[in-house]
Amino acid sequence: MENELSAELTFSGPLPRAPAVEELLRPLAAEALKKSLGTRGRGELAAWAVTGDRLSLTLAADGGRPHQALLSIARQLGESLGRTSKIGVRTLRGTRYRVRFEVPTPPTRPITLPIPHTLSFEGGSAVLELTDLSEEALRDNWVDRVVQLVLEKAKRQAYAGKEQYWSLLTPARPREHAGRSDPTEEMLKRQWVRSGPTKGKWFLGPTVAHLYRTMERIARTEVLEPLGFIEVVQPHHDSFDILLKTGHLEGLPGEFYYAAEPRSRDPADWERFTDLVKITRAVPSEELAKLVGPPSAVLCYAQCPTIYWWLSGRTIPTDRLPLKVFDRTAVSNRYESGGRHGLERVDEFHRIEPVYLGTPEQLAALREELLARYARVFDEILELEWRTAWVTPFYMQQAGGVGVEDATAHVKGTIDYEAYLPYRGTREASEWLEFQNLSIVGDKYTKAFTIRAQKGELWSGCSGIGLERWLTTFLAQKGFEPKEWPEGFRNAAGTMPRDVDFL
């Protein structure tokens, strides 16, 4: 049979003689297998043996996996033997679990797994064998999760290099650009910004702070407030629990900044540390590592996960839908490593993140309104050369719901906004900058966080308004002479502050 689970049960005392156990075990196993496999498949008790206080047994099944049946057999056996022989199940362990499953995209390279196993592929199917599974591992369906992981890894190999699908939605309207230079270089030359004091962080002086705040105000007053978005204020730390639910923890562990707590706040515990600082005038890193615990959270990566947490377990009344909120307080932190470039790709940046929840129809309509409002800002206030593209990660394309040919007709997915940066070269050959995006994710997060509508289906989505990207895009295209800036932006910016003329 395709799936086979061998297990060992230890009892609190010697088991009755074999015929008595068999009499008990056979009907229990038949019943449990039938119940857990249903009409999907069939199973059997393939082998069993008793030695002292130990029972080993093997369940085999087609069309389903037999670990739920094993758990049920163990429970009922314990109950029954408790009554007749005053013994119960002490431990339950899966000694060997062999499963066979179809792999639509066979891997081209070896697949690694972090728990004891063997894995082989033949034709279109895989044979996976796990050894030494605890009761919790059986109860928690590890085997199903490992099968999913193997399928995902195989698919990832097949799609390597084409992770994101890109197709133009609205083309750019070409414009004349006053800007020619790399805006970060120019800002540095003018001493408007300073790089540091830690990796990928920037200090914005008065002029750039004013421009950045102007961008933020435009987004709020021209897009969010007219559409009825209301502000929330959220914490800067994201909990591991939240990131487990959104999938970020498995998706992006290498992009987080991790936050750790001191093991104690008692000055006495820190005495050696402070003494070393006083003597050496340097950071005693080894001592510090002992005094600080392992990471217990991450610095905000994106705002929407914690907004979903805020709504978790809640039911939203019909007359409050679509619910439209935004956060502009939490600062985004990402370890960009080699990708860092000026203010365009930094490790700490400021985003306004609108998040919306509603019926699929409400969100489809809201997206049109957002698209129109954004377009007005980029065309009439900032006068940018920009385009939009439909980008969808490969796993969503595969999910069946998202069409690739007729992207505009579909609601679920992500739209990227991209801008031409003249300093990077020609429109055709240079890489454009993604300066914001807009997504509708279906019920992925409302399900994960158990957020319900009073009636009917509840979908959600979010949009990432990257203010450093708005700013660098604007300066790259419009240059640094306020008199050459579009009138709409000049009006919004008002009087520029006096910067500091360093000597």
Measured from the CB atom, the residue of 246 and 437 that comes closer to ligand ATP is 437
Query: Active-site residue 300, yes or no?
Result: no
What is the C-alpha to C-alpha distance for residues 187 and 229, in angstroms, rounded to an integer?
A: 33
- Choosing from 333, 387, 462, 468, the catalytic residue is 462
Find which of ligand ATP, Zn ion, none residue 435 binds, CB within 5 to 8 Å per kind. ligand ATP
In terms of DSSP bridges, do strands 315-316 and 452-453 run parallel, antiparallel, or are they unpaired? Answer: parallel
Candidates 304, 363, 366, 433; binder of Zn ion (CB under 5 A) is: 304
Query: Active-site residue 336, yes or no?
Result: yes
Is residue 465 a contact point for Zn ion (CB under 5 A)? Answer: no
What is the C-alpha to C-alpha distance for residues 133 and 45, in angstroms, rounded to an integer?
A: 19
- Choosing from 304, 333, 351, 387, the catalytic residue is 304
Measured from the CB atom, the residue of 183 and 464 that comes closer to Zn ion is 464
Least gap, CB of 374 to ligand ATP (angstroms): 12
| Both structure tokens of 303 | 């705002």
Task: Give the three-class secondary structure for 236.
Answer: coil
Measured from the CB atom, the residue of 184 and 362 that comes closer to ligand ATP is 184
Find which of ligand ATP, Zn ion, none residue 220 binds, CB within 5 to 8 Å per kind. none
What is the C-alpha to C-alpha distance for residues 427 and 116, in angstroms, rounded to an integer?
A: 52
Candidates 214, 234, 392, 437; binder of ligand ATP (CB under 6 A) is: 437
Measured from the CB atom, the residue of 126 and 346 that comes closer to ligand ATP is 346
Looking at the chain, the number of H-run helices and the number of E-run strands are 16, 22
- Which letter does DSSP use for residue 230 in this model? E
* Sequence-ordered list of residues with C-beta below 8 angstroms from that of 201, at least 6 positions apart, any chain: 195, 346, 347, 348
Measured from the CB atom, the residue of 413 and 464 that comes closer to ligand ATP is 464
| Both structure tokens of 446 | 């409302």
Closest C-alpha to 152, from 144, 294, 216: 144
What is the C-alpha to C-alpha distance for residues 133 and 101, in angstroms, rounded to an integer?
A: 19
Is residue 307 a contact point for Zn ion (CB under 5 A)? Answer: no
Q: Omega before 360 cis (within 30°)? A: no
Binding mask 301-340 for ligand ATP (x = CB under 6 A): -x-------------------------------x-x----
Size of the site for ligand ATP (CB under 6 A): 15
| Rg value, the chain, Cα | 30
- Choosing from 334, 351, 367, 387, the catalytic residue is 334
* Sequence-ordered list of residues with C-beta below 8 angstroms from that of 88, at least 6 positions apart, any chain: 11, 12, 78, 81, 82
Measured from the CB atom, the residue of 222 and 468 that comes closer to ligand ATP is 468
Size of the site for Zn ion (CB under 5 A): 3
Candidates 81, 346, 357, 451; binder of ligand ATP (CB under 6 A) is: 346
Find which of Zn ion, ligand ATP, none residue 324 binds, CB within 5 to 8 Å per kind. none
* Sequence-ordered list of residues with C-beta below 8 angstroms from that of 497, at least 6 positions apart, any chain: 206, 207, 209, 210
Considering only 312-320, 404-412, 421-429, 460-468, which stretch makes contact with Zn ion by CB under 5 A?
460-468
Measured from the CB atom, the residue of 4 and 347 that comes closer to ligand ATP is 347
Question: Which secondary-structure segment (H or E) carries 5?
Answer: strand 3-11
- Choosing from 100, 156, 345, 424, the catalytic residue is 345
Considering only 106-114, 122-130, 239-247, 435-443, which stretch makes contact with ligand ATP by CB under 6 A?
435-443
Measured from the CB atom, the residue of 220 and 351 that comes closer to Zn ion is 351
Query: Active-site residue 462, yes or no?
Result: yes
Q: Per-residue DSSP letters for 38-106?
A: TTT-EEEEEEEEEETTEEEEEEEEESS-THHHHHHHHHHHHHHHHHHHS--EEEEEEEEEEEEEE-SS-
Least gap, CB of 343 to ligand ATP (angstroms): 8
String of b and e for 443-477 (b: at least 16 CB within 10 Å)? ebbbebbebebeeeebbbbbbbbbbbbbbbbbbbb
Least gap, CB of 351 to ligand ATP (angstroms): 5
Find which of Zn ion, ligand ATP, none residue 65 binds, CB within 5 to 8 Å per kind. none
- Choosing from 182, 327, 348, 353, the catalytic residue is 353
HSE at residue 326, side-chain half, CA atoms within 13 A, is 21
Sort 75 into a burial class: Cβ within 10 Å, 0-12 / 13-18 / 19+. Answer: middle
Least gap, CB of 461 to Zn ion (angstroms): 8
The binding site for Zn ion (CB under 5 A) comprises: 302, 304, 462
The contact set with ligand ATP (CB under 6 A) reads 302, 334, 336, 345-346, 349, 351, 434-437, 464, 466, 468-469
What is the set of active-site residues? 304, 334, 336, 345, 353, 416, 434, 437, 462, 469
